[in-house]
Amino acid sequence: MTAEHRPLIRHEGVRAAVGRLAAPFVAADRRLAARLARDRSPLPTRFEITPVTFDVALRYREVIDLLRPLYRPGMAILEVGSGAGGVTDFLQVPVTGVDTAFERTADRATPYLTPVTARADDLPFGDAEFDAVLCVEMLEHVPAGQREAVLSELFRVARPGGRVVITFPADAAAARLDRELNERYRQRHGSDHPWVIEHIREGVPATEGVVATLRGILGERGSVAVRKHDPARSWLFHQTLYGAQCWYRPAVLAGLHTRVGATLLFRALRRMRGREHYRSIVVVDRARATV
């Protein structure tokens, strides 16, 4: 989510003239960025990296990478907490999306997502209906007392041999980073960050607690693995730059608000490593049915 900012050129006439002169460069920026972001894998993906999509693209790139070993045309994919676009902003295949408020993200709707209005703790599907089940940055918005019911539903609708991918800001690192970003946002805009403040008030999930809950649900019916994502320095940098829009003028002058600039930064930050990370990605592989 981006913040409001003052335009670099305030005079409307001058701004319009500059816009006309810049039009060819904007088109070239779009074309070159598309080439830089091209995915050469067989998956039907399309990554358009912009300052608006930057953080979301980082998450979904990792999620899509986790789908690659399982992917086959026609596989059944469910995303819980998808909004109107979800993974189909980047993966151009049919996906069933569950949410309670699709209208909030109606501007991100795609023809690939079939919306189903429902609660995450009471999914309107039969057992074992989906080959892959995704839950991306939704668990932290569920009250702690309801998270076990949500995790149980995610596993219930996954087929034997299927995969469940759950991402969420996690542990003390995410809590500290959220507070730091909120303070930067307040200094820049005079108010709390619109979604970080919810994390601060409700608390972010603990990875160990989520894993323990899942293992209790699974028993011998599957395995759980954890990977960490988005090193602390990377997350705070791109959220301050694009989410809070601090350093706006120097960033514009440095080209970081062009598509090419955002795409090059995206590629650089994906390679960054660190000891602390903002996000946990929990991967549940459901055991195949025994004959």
The pLDDT value given to residue 17:
55
Q: Which has the higher per-residue pLDDT, 8 or 73?
A: 73
The model's confidence at residue 2, banded by pLDDT at 50, 70 and 90, is very low
The model's confidence at residue 42, banded by pLDDT at 50, 70 and 90, is confident
> How much of the chain, in percent, has pLDDT values that exceed 70?
86
Convert the pLDDT of each residue in 44-95 to its tens digit. 998 889 999 999 999 999 999 999 999 999 999 999 999 999 999 999 999 9
Rounded CA-CA distance 158/288 in Å is 11
Domain that holds residue 128: 12-286
Quote the tokens at residue 44.
């039907």
Rounded CA-CA distance 273/230 in Å is 8
The residues with which 222 forms a beta bridge, in sequence order, are 286
The model's confidence at residue 106, banded by pLDDT at 50, 70 and 90, is very high
Q: Are 165 and 283 in contact (CB under 8 A)?
A: yes
Q: Are 247 and 240 in contact (CB under 8 A)?
A: yes
Mean pLDDT, rounded, for 36-42: 68
The model's confidence at residue 202, banded by pLDDT at 50, 70 and 90, is confident
Rounded CA-CA distance 206/190 in Å is 30
In a domain, 193, yes or no: yes
Convert the pLDDT of each residue in 223-273 to its tens digit. 999 999 999 999 999 999 999 999 988 999 999 999 999 999 999 999 999
In a domain, 166, yes or no: yes
CATH label of the domain that carries residue 142: 3.40.50.150
Number of domains composing the chain: 1
In a domain, 3, yes or no: no
Single out the residue of 1, 25, 38 nearest to residue 267, CA to CA: 38
- Which helix (H) or strand (E) segment holds residue 160: the answer is strand 158-169
The pLDDT value given to residue 251:
93
Rounded CA-CA distance 4/91 in Å is 29
Rounded CA-CA distance 102/77 in Å is 18
In a domain, 6, yes or no: no
In a domain, 1, yes or no: no
